[in-house]
Amino acid sequence: MDVTGIIFSTIDTDAEAIEAWNRWYDLEHLPPNIALAGVVAGTRYVAPPALHAARQPERPIDGFEDGKSVHATVYLLSNDPATVIADMTTERERLIELGRMDGAGNRVVRSGDAATRQWAVGAEELKMESSEVFHVGHNALRVVWRRGGTEAETTAVQAAAVDGCHGVASFAAVFQPGIEIDLYYLEGDAAEVTDRLRGQAPYRDAEVLVDAPFEVITPFDYTFADQVRASDLPQTIDSDTVL
């Protein structure tokens, strides 16, 4: 099924509840959303303390500052992103009535947007069609939010030739016009590959708002929770905004 866009969001929960919240997300939140018409897939990611240290720039956009946005989710869409968001909102109300949001706990949405597909570039050695890039295997993701960048696709071609990068996909934000979101599908150590990409395939004419590596979350393996609790990342959230 052809990917037409994404929904990207970052979320935080209290450090003491990371395991319980992630289990709820994997079992109670992701499945009904993926089952909606227009949703192709959903993948969850985490930025442990070491990956927060690898983020750039020093002052990123709101939602990524001061150790925020530990968790991220990317939904791949085959329908109009705004329509899918409306369907997810309706579905959320249904799940509330069924009591399936009761285990969600304390959490906050830090950042996010729906975005429409622009282009995708795969590693030449894999001989992928552009439509395949969104589904390529990866254990890490580099997320770049930027403004401008007429040479961004050229940068992506260079990036796809860098060891550890299997492809790059770009999307235009729906609710924040002028912002573009690039997703880099990585293999290996997320911080090391991201640093390699910054050196070998830099953005030349774009304003980079945030450049953040994440690791793929394996369901029921939440060992990163202890790393967060042992770090100087925020231990509690500071808002009651809910997902």
Establish if 156 belongs to a structural domain: yes
What is the mean pLDDT of the segment spanning 108-121?
95
Which tens digits make up the pLDDT trace of 192-241?
A: 999 999 999 999 999 999 999 999 999 999 999 999 999 999 999 975 44
CA dist., res. 110 & res. 71, Å (int)? 9
Asked whether residue 49 is domain-assigned, the answer is yes
Summarize pLDDT for 129-147 with one digit per residue, the tens: 999 999 999 999 999 999 9
Asked whether residue 13 is domain-assigned, the answer is yes
Tokens of 45: 């990611």
243 within a domain of the structure (yes/no): no
**237 within a domain of the structure (yes/no):** no
Task: Judge whether 175 lies within some domain.
Answer: yes
- The CATH code of the domain that includes 49 is 3.30.70
- DSSP category for residue 239: -
User: What's the domain range around 70?
Assistant: 5-229
Residue 151 within any structural domain of the chain: yes
User: For the whole model, what pTM was predicted?
Assistant: 0.95
Q: Is residue 242 situated within a structural domain?
A: no
What are the DSSP calls for 155-213, one per residue? HHHHHTTSTTEEEEEEEEESSSTTEEEEEEEE-S-HHHHHHHHHHHS--SSEEEEEEEE
| Number of independent structural domains in the chain | 1
181 Cβ neighbours under 8 A, 6+ residues apart:
6, 8, 113, 115, 143, 144, 145, 170, 171, 172, 173
